[in-house]
Chains A and B, each alone.
Chain A
Amino acid sequence: MTPGASNARPAPAAIEVHDARVRLGDTDVLRGVNLRVPMGQMVALIGPNGSGKTTLLRCLLGLQRLDAGNVRILGEPVGPKVLRRVGYVPQRLPLDPSFALCVREFLALRRPDTRLWFFRRTRATDDILLRHAPGLGMEPLLSRPLSGLSGGQLQRVLIAYSLLGDPELLLLDEPTAGVDTPGEQDFYQLIGDVHARLGITIVLVSHDLGMVFRRASWVYALNGVICCEGRPEEVINANSLKAAYGIHVTPYHHHHHSHAPVPPEGVPITLHRR
C-alpha cells in the first residue's frame, strides 16, 4: 500500500481503542477510553499516578481483560499473533541477583534464529544480535550479567531486546524511571534515532511532562478517560493539564527565552470530557 495510491484503503491505525472500560476492585480505572494512534508516529501517553496509564498499557499487551469496549493493535485484536509484531519495554527487570543471566543470553531469547539449545554461544549469534540492535552499544555488554547493569545500561538492553523482535509498534512504560538526568537525555536521543531510522510507531507512557514537550509528535492525556490530546505545545498548557491532572499545574517550558512559539490562546484542543 503505497502512500500515493489514491484509492488504497487507509492504513489501519497502530492502536485503536474504543470505549475501553476496566474496573479493578472498587475503582473504575478506565471509564471509556477512546484512542487512535496513527502508524509511524512517536506519541506520548501521559497522566498522573492512578490515571490508568499502566492499566491501558496492560490492555494493549493483552495482560488485562477489558470489562467493555475493544482494543485493536496494528489492525488486529490483541493476541499472541499480533503481539509478535509488538515490542514492549518494561520499566525495569525485577531481577534477583541470584539469577545468573548475561546480556547475550537474555537478548538471544527474543529471536528464533539466536535461541540456541542450552545457550551455546557462537560468533554467528553475536553477529545477529548486534546487527538487529545497532547503535545501542550492546557489544561491550554482551558478557555482563544482567543483574549488574546500571539503570541506563539495562534500559538500553531492554530496548535492544524489543528491537530484536523487529517490531512495528514499540511500547515503552515509564522509560526513564531509574535513570539519571544525563542518562535520560541520552535515552530520548536514542529513541528519537530509533524512530527516525526504523519509522515504527512508538508510544511512550510517562508522567514526565518535560520529555513529552520535547520529543513526542502527539500527546494523549489520560485520567480515566482521554481528557485531551494534541500536539505537545497544545496539550501542555495550564488548562488542559488541569483537566487531566485535576490540579493546577504550571508547565515548565525549556525554551522559555528562545523564539520557539509559546502556545497561543485558542489553539484547537480536542476535549473528550464526560
Chain B
Amino acid sequence: MPDFLMEPFMQRALLMALALGPACGLLGVFVTARRMSFFSDTIAHSALTGVAAGFLAGFEDPTLPVLSFCIMVAVTMLWLRERTRLLNDTIMAVLLSVSVAMGVILLSLQRNRWAELDKYLLGDVLSVGWSDVAWAAAAAVAVTVAVLASLNPLALLAAHEDLAHVSGARVRLLNYGFVILLTLAVSLSIRALGILLVTSMVVLPPATARMLVHTLRAHVLLTVAFGLTGAVGGVLLSYPLNLPTGPTVTMTFGALFAASLLVARLRSPARP
C-alpha cells in the first residue's frame, strides 16, 4: 500500500469520494433528465451564505447551518416554481446571485473568517473531518435507498409530470423528496470539491454514461460506476501529482467524459 494511503486525511477523503461519488451520480441521472443541472449549481452557491451565517452564529463546524440554508433555498425554489409564473432559470439566477452576494457580505463582516472563502469556493480536502465522513455515509445510504425504492415513479416523473400524476405517482412528495436528497448530497460534497465544482460530480457521470447506453437500467448502473471511478480516482491521483483534490476529481470526470465521447463516436460516427 502506498504510504499516502496511511495518511488519515487521505483515508477520510477517499471514504467521502466512495460515499458521495455514486450517490451524486445516482441523483444526477434524474437531474440531467429533468434539466435541473442549474438547480444543483444554485444549491451549491447558496451554501456560501450557510457557511458565513454559521460562523456568525458561532458554529465552529458549519455543516448544519449549510444544510439548513441550502434546503431552505431549494424549497423556496420549488415553491416559487409552483406559485409564480417566473421561469425556472430566472428563479435560480435570482437565488444564486443573491445568496452568493449575501454570503460574501456576511463573511466580510468577520475579518478572521475571510480565508474560509477560498476553502469553500474551491474545496479543501484537508479540512474534511470524521464527522463529515459520517454525514457523507449517512447521505449516501439515504440517497441510495430512496432512489432505488422509487426508481419507477422517478422515471415516470422525468418522462412526463402530468402522466405520472394520472398514473398514481405522488408527484409533490417525489419532487420535494428528490430535491431535499439532492441538496443533502450537494451540500455535503462541497467540503471536498468546492462550490464552483460540485455540480461536476452530479452532472458529468450521467452525461458520460448516457453516450454509451440507451436504457435506464444500463444508464443508472454505468453512472454509478463512473461516479465511483471519477471520485475515487481523482482523490488518488491528486496526492502523487500534488494537485488540488477538487479540481483533480473534476478533471478525472472530464477525462472519462472525453473517453466515452470518443468511444461513442467510434462505435457510431453519426451520433453524439
Contact = CB atoms under 8 A, between A and B. Distances in A.
A100 B162 contact: no
B191 interface: no
Question: Residue among B33, B34, B167 with the most chain A CB within 10 A?
Answer: B167
B254 to A, nearest CB: 17
Given A98-B32, A99-B32, A109 B206 contact: no
Interface string B27-69: 0000011110000000000000000000000000000000000
A63 B165 contact: yes
Contacts of B33: 96, 98-99, 101
A88 B166 contact: yes
Given A61-B165, A98-B32, A98-B210, A118 B151 contact: yes
A115 interface: yes
B166 A105 contact: no
Contacts of B163: 88, 90, 93, 161
A145 B156 CA distance: 14
B214 interface: yes
Contacts of B220: 118
B155 A109 contact: yes
A99 B166 contact: no
Contacts of B35: 96
B38 to A, nearest CB: 13
Contacts of A106: 155, 159
B219 interface: yes
A165 interface: yes
A115 B156 CA distance: 12
Interface stretch (A14-22, A78-86, A195-203): A78-86
A120 B148 CA distance: 13
Contacts of B148: 118
Tell me what chain B mostly uses at the interface: helix, strand, loop, or mixed.
helix
B86 interface: no
Question: Residue among A90, A99, A106 with the most chain B CB within 10 A?
Answer: A99
Contacts of A95: 159
B218 A100 contact: yes
A100 B217 CA distance: 9
Contact of B160 (A93, A119, A165): A93
Interface residues of B, number: 30
Contacts of B214: 100, 102, 143-145
B70 to A, nearest CB: 24
Contacts of B90: none
Contact of B217 (A98, A105, A144): A105
Nearest to A98: B32
B228 to A, nearest CB: 18
A4 interface: no
Contact of A102 (B165, B166, B168, B216): B216
Interface in B146-203: 148, 151-152, 155-156, 158-160, 162-163, 165-168
10 contacts: A83-B166, A83-B168, A88-B162, A88-B163, A99-B216, A100-B216, A102-B214, A118-B220, A119-B217, A161-B163
Interface of A: 58, 61-63, 80, 83-84, 86, 88, 90, 93-96, 98-102, 104-106, 109-110, 115, 117-121, 143-146, 161, 165
Given A99-B33, A105-B155, 8 more contacts: A62-B166, A63-B165, A83-B168, A90-B163, A101-B155, A101-B215, A106-B155, A144-B214
